[in-house]
Amino acid sequence: MSTTDAPADRPAAGRPPAGSAERCPGCRSALAVNERFPTWCPSCEWNLLPPEPAPTNRTPRQQRAAERAERREEAARRDVRERSEQVFNLVSAGGSDLRDGSTTAAFALAGVVHLVSLTVLLLGLGLVTGLLLPGWPGRLLGVIALAVAFQLRPRLGRPSRDGVLDRTAAPALYALVDRISEELGAPKVDSIAVDGEWNASFAVLGLRRHRQLTVGLPLWTALAPQQRVAVLAHEIGRCVNGDRRRSLWNGSALGALVEWYRMTVPSPTRTQRGLIGVLVVLAELVANRVLWVLNRAVHGLTLLMNRLWMRAGQAAEYRADLLAVRLTSVADTRGALTALLHRQTFETVLNRQRTVPPRRTGSGRDATPDLWQSLAEAVRTVPPLETERRLRAAARLAEAVDSTHPPTDLRLRMLTAAEPEQHRHPVVLDSGRAALIEAELAARRERIAVDLL
Ligand SMILES: [Zn+2]
């Protein structure tokens, strides 16, 4: 399939006016036009972010509110960007002490979260047993407090069972991952899950601290073999570089905060008739007001926690990238990081495939080869100019997975800034082993394609 006549990855808004199609309206530089992507100017960044069509039916008041929200977002982005650059400078200068003041503060804050949960639990136990308040009202309150304590319990996460490949089903994939763990001095993973995300992740879950690696098959498909090694090395590398943000103590506190937040979201007030209806509505208004205050407080705590973890988290990400370089090369790690920018292309391919009527074969729908081939082809043919646009757009939007991940452009800069040492025995995924792994993934490929389309 030809890709040049494919629909644009993003509707080509903001084209230069007709007749000047090859000159930038901002600085008059020559522009390269590719039908598949927005035209933009790398010299003055004209149309770096093609304008979104603004909703036309806004009242002046809604318009002003939207503008205020936009300004607030912009300020928040600038703030994140500035702090990210500080961390970058610190890490590239080699002085990223993960045990700084904010890490200690985050540790203490996690302690406060656990203390609140413990207090509610003890209160519940004291009431239920009649120690604090004899009689049935006390016991009733105790039951409620215990129910709340149950909801507030630290969340340790649970390993996913969906899409898990066990060792016997995927020996070549596990062998590769084990080899990477060994080179990095990390313990072996307990399970590998394969899903339909444009991502890869690693988590330590549950009381038994189950180590689960999750590989997004779409991203995996778009990567060259050594880039795959780089992605795996980054994920596994995160647990050998002292990233204590994910430890039992801190991770479970963050998990609890997320649960508190969910519990305190005020529910919309329903209209009711009659005197009782009015009383119910009034009670709900009061309850919602209280919930709102609690919810804002939890929100603030979560932000504070994330902010305290930011430096340690971002420094850990940079270190994981440098570990990936150690097992592969700067070019492979760079390629893997750049691929993360192409989620948009993945979504375009998905949308295009969804509109194509499925070809019927004897066994029914057979969309699998088409989806994966189109995806690899579409990502392979994103021109460097468009990659550059996405990189700069991400930098301008301070786009990162969250503030604990540094922005991609800074991660790419770090690969050269820190002059990482190259490993003498890099982990090589040769074509023979790559093919074995592909065969192990074949069943998941079919399943995920059906789920995605
Ligand atoms: Zn220009």
Residues 185 and 146 in one domain: no
- Is 440 found in the same domain as 351? yes
42 CA → ligand 1 middle, Å: 7
Kindly give the distance from the C-alpha atom of residue 391 to the centroid of ligand 1, in angstroms, as a whole number: 17
| 232 has pLDDT over 90 | yes
Say if CB 323 and CB 427 are below 8 A apart: no
Gap from CA of 41 to ligand 1 centroid (Å): 5
CA of 234 to the centre of ligand 1 (A): 37
> Are 1 and 122 members of one domain?
no
- To the nearest whole number, what is the mean pLDDT of the chain? 82
Give a yes or no: residue 339 inside a domain.
yes
What is the distance between the alpha carbons of residues 286 and 293, in angstroms, rounded to a whole number? 11
Q: What's the CA-to-centroid distance between 379 and ligand 1, angstroms?
A: 26
Which residue in this structure is represented by tokens 């904010």?
102
How far away, in angstroms, is 23 Cα from ligand 1 center? 8
d(CA 45, CA 126): 64
For residue 31, the Cα-to-chain-centroid distance in whole angstroms is 34
The pLDDT value given to residue 404: 64
> Which whole number is the average pLDDT over 111-121?
90
d(CA 427, CA 230): 9
Rounded to an integer, what distance in angstroms lies between the CA atom of residue 174 and that of residue 190? 10
On whether residue 283 sits in a domain, the answer given is: no
Do both 137 and 181 map to the same domain? no
Distance 412 CA to ligand 1 centre (A): 25
362 pLDDT above the threshold of 50: no
Least confident of 105-119, 296-310, 375-389: 296-310
Distance 192 CA to ligand 1 centre (A): 47
Terminal CA-CA length for the chain:
19
Q: How far is the CA of 27 from the centre of ligand 1 (A)?
A: 4
Res. 98: pLDDT tops 80? no
pLDDT tens-digit series, residues 133-145: 788 888 888 898 8
Which neighbouring-strand residues pair with 215?
Answer: 194, 200
Q: Are residues 126 and 218 located together in one domain of the fold?
A: no
Considering the domain boundaries, does residue 258 fall inside one? no
Which range has the top average pLDDT, 92-96, 133-137, 215-219, 446-450?
215-219
Residue 303 lies in a domain: no
Structure tokens at 75: 């300020």
- 133 and 27 both lie in a single domain: no
Quick one: residue 47, left, alpha or beta (phi over 0 = left, psi -120 to 50 = alpha)?
Answer: left
Query: Which pLDDT score, from 0 to 100, does residue 52 have?
Result: 74
Which among 331, 337, 314, 338 has a CA at the least distance from the CA of 422?
Answer: 331
Q: Answer for the pair 380, 346: CB distance below 8 angstroms, yes or no.
A: no
Lowest-pLDDT range of 10-24, 244-258, 438-452: 10-24
343 CA to centre of ligand 1 in angstroms: 26
- 356 plus 405 within the same structural domain: yes
Q: Which two tokens stand for residue 32?
A: 């390269």
3-state secondary structure (DSSP) of residue 363: coil
Residues 81-85: contacts with CB within 8 Å, 24+ apart? 81/395, 81/398, 81/407, 83/310, 83/403, 84/314, 84/398, 84/400, 84/403, 84/406, 84/407, 84/410, 85/410
Quick one: pLDDT at residue 11? Answer: 44
Do 226 and 340 belong to one domain?
yes
The answer to whether residue 61 sits within a structural domain is no
pLDDT interval class at 119 (50, 70, 90):
very high
Written as one letter, the residue type at 61 is: R
User: Looking at the structure, do residues 218 and 364 belong to the same domain, yes or no?
Assistant: yes
Same structural domain for residues 335 and 386?
A: yes
Residue 264: inside a domain: no
pLDDT one-digit tens code per residue, 243-259: 666 677 888 888 888 88
**What domain count does the chain have?**
3
CA–centroid distance, residue 13 to ligand 1 (Å): 16
- Reported confidence tier of residue 99, pLDDT bands at 50, 70, 90: low
Question: What is the 44 CA–ligand 1 centroid distance (Å)?
Answer: 4
Residues 443 and 401 in one domain: yes
188: CA distance to ligand 1 center in Å?
51
| pLDDT tens for each residue of 151-198 | 888 777 889 888 999 999 999 999 999 999 999 989 999 999 999 999
DSSP string, 286-350: HHHHHHHHHHHHHHHHHHHHHHHHHHHHHHHHHHHHHHHHHHS-HHHHHHHHHHGGGHHHHHHHH
Give the structural domain span for 134: 108-153
Closest C-alpha among 147, 127, 124 to residue 138:
127
Q: What share of the chain in percent tops pLDDT 90?
A: 20
pLDDT exceeds cutoff 80 at 240: no
What is the model's pLDDT at position 180? 94
Secondary structure letter of residue 341 according to DSSP: G
What separation in Å is there between the alpha carbon of 48 and the centre of ligand 1?
10
Torsion sign across C-alpha atoms 413, 417, 418, 424? positive
Distance 382 CA to ligand 1 centre (A): 21
| pLDDT on residue 239 | 74
Of the candidates 423, 421, 419, 422, the residue with the CA atom closest to the CA atom of residue 92? 419
Q: How far is the CA of 173 from the centre of ligand 1 (A)?
A: 47
| Residue 380 shares a structural domain with residue 434 | yes
More confident residue, 243 or 35: 35
Query: How far, in Å, from the CA of 26 to the mean position of ligand 1?
Result: 5
CB 128 within 8 Å of CB 142: yes
Q: How far apart are CA 43 and CA 444, in angstroms?
A: 44
- CA distance linking residue 450 with residue 325, whole number of Å: 35
Neighbours of 26 (CB within 10 A): 14
The encoded tokens of residue 280 equal: 């119910």
